[in-house]
Chain A
């Protein structure tokens, strides 16, 4: 996919070219929105709003990483929604499980190659991780999602959040420290293969 050509065509109003970019980046954008919002419906709304905003403000794209530009838009959309919710708290419409969490149908997380036990353990890890992310201040949550989940480096993350690189470094360290405290006991839930890979990084 020639991203530059698609962007140029989209700048001239070619919606089909822009939609090709949407198809390419929608997983990343949705993933970021989900990690920040903590729930599926809100993440879908945020992702859709982000793409609509991106198309309308495409002339503000000044080159560089288009992925970082899109992530910045979805991050700001999520910030705005979270601030709005803080002013007007809402109650979830979905039924809650015993842990008072929304029960989701994670078809999009399914991996057909794993056993039911592996699937269950993976779901446990994912839920525990998202619970801990939800407890973080939104600024810390954003940075740790960008660097550790989205795989961005510090400079890209700084570009997305619009802060100096030193601020990214500081927020990331504090986020990881808090996540460390929250994720006590989750390490044992990880499959051996993953734990072995982790230890090999030492």
Chain B
């Protein structure tokens, strides 16, 4: 019966029900409603549909939908944010890498711009026949002069670790101790051996003095180098280790 109702008529009837129609269109429609039973029947069907729809009660929410701070993305003041292990390890790895780079670059810069290594032997000393065969090693009292023992005995101090036997070593077996360890003996020996008139410390003096002067910082610099190496190894291990653990932790969480 209502199949012949056009779509535009249905829209007019729907708007008429909601009082959403102009006065002119309302008048025209009401005239048609009085004349066309089919149109009136359609209006009745639409009205019943709207009654059914509007008969439904307002649904009540089954629970509260209030937001927690986590839902809202709000950070409450005063709460510490606990860092995840992954983030901590990652940060440790990054910092260790940065420090390793800084230490390495700093070490290279110091080596490049610092004076010649202090372990270098003075040229005159190297060719002095009174000196023992070259080579390092902390054997005897360093330069083994052919002088009598009393000269050896005059050595003010012996470096730690040297034994008494080292002073009795034959001349040809005399070890050249790094002059840095011995502040005095070579200079004194040179002074006794040198011909009269020569300035004390002539042949060996300045160089010996220079070598002597370099003796003190040599030991400290070797210690510093050792510390730097240890630090570099430790930072490298920390950077790599923390990074690997962080990666494994991340994979286990995924």
Contacts and interface: CB of A to CB of B under 8 A. Distances in A.
Interface of A: 13, 15, 18-19, 22-23, 26-31, 34, 40, 44, 47-48, 51-52, 55-56, 107-109, 111, 125-126, 129, 144, 147-149, 151, 153-154, 169-170, 172-174, 176-177, 179-180, 183, 186-187, 190, 194-195, 197-198, 201-202
Interface of B: 7, 10-11, 13-15, 18, 20, 44-67, 69, 71-74
Give the 8 A-B CB pairs with smallest separation, nearest first.
A198-B51, A173-B14, A148-B53, A31-B59, A19-B66, A173-B11, A30-B61, A26-B61
B169 to A, nearest CB: 86
B34 to A, nearest CB: 13
B61 A108 contact: yes
Contacts of B74: 13, 15
Given A40-B62, A173-B15, A180-B46, A55 B56 contact: no
A144 to B, nearest CB: 7
A180 B162 CA distance: 114
Nearest to A47: B65
Nearest to A172: B14
A140 B185 CA distance: 109
B49 A169 contact: no
Contact of B58 (A22, A28, A201): A28
A61 to B, nearest CB: 16
A23 B63 CA distance: 10
20 contacts: A15-B72, A15-B74, A19-B66, A19-B67, A26-B65, A27-B61, A29-B65, A47-B61, A107-B62, A111-B57, A125-B56, A169-B14, A172-B14, A172-B18, A174-B7, A176-B14, A180-B46, A183-B52, A190-B51, A201-B47
B68 to A, nearest CB: 8
B69 to A, nearest CB: 6
Contacts of A30: 59-62, 65
Given A194-B51, A195-B51, 6 more contacts: A28-B58, A108-B59, A129-B56, A147-B18, A149-B56, A173-B13
B65 A51 contact: yes
B72 A52 contact: yes
A34 B56 CA distance: 13
Contacts of A51: 65-67
B64 A129 contact: no
A147 B20 CA distance: 12
A17 to B, nearest CB: 11
Contacts of A13: 74
Nearest to A51: B65
A26 B11 contact: no
A179 B65 contact: no
A151 B50 CA distance: 11
B47 A202 contact: yes
Contacts of B73: 56
B38 to A, nearest CB: 14
B49 A183 contact: yes
Question: Which of B18, B20, B44, B59 is packed against the most chain A CB atoms within 10 Å?
Answer: B59
A22 B50 contact: no
A109 B57 contact: yes
Contacts of A44: 62-63
A28 B65 CA distance: 12
B66 A23 contact: yes
B69 A15 contact: yes
A198 B47 contact: yes
A185 B141 CA distance: 122
Contacts of A52: 67, 71-72
A149 B53 contact: yes
Contacts of B44: 202
B67 A174 contact: no
Contacts of B56: 125-126, 129, 149
Contacts of B7: 173-174
Contacts of A144: 53
Nearest to A111: B57
B59 A148 contact: no
B59 A27 contact: yes
A25 B20 CA distance: 27
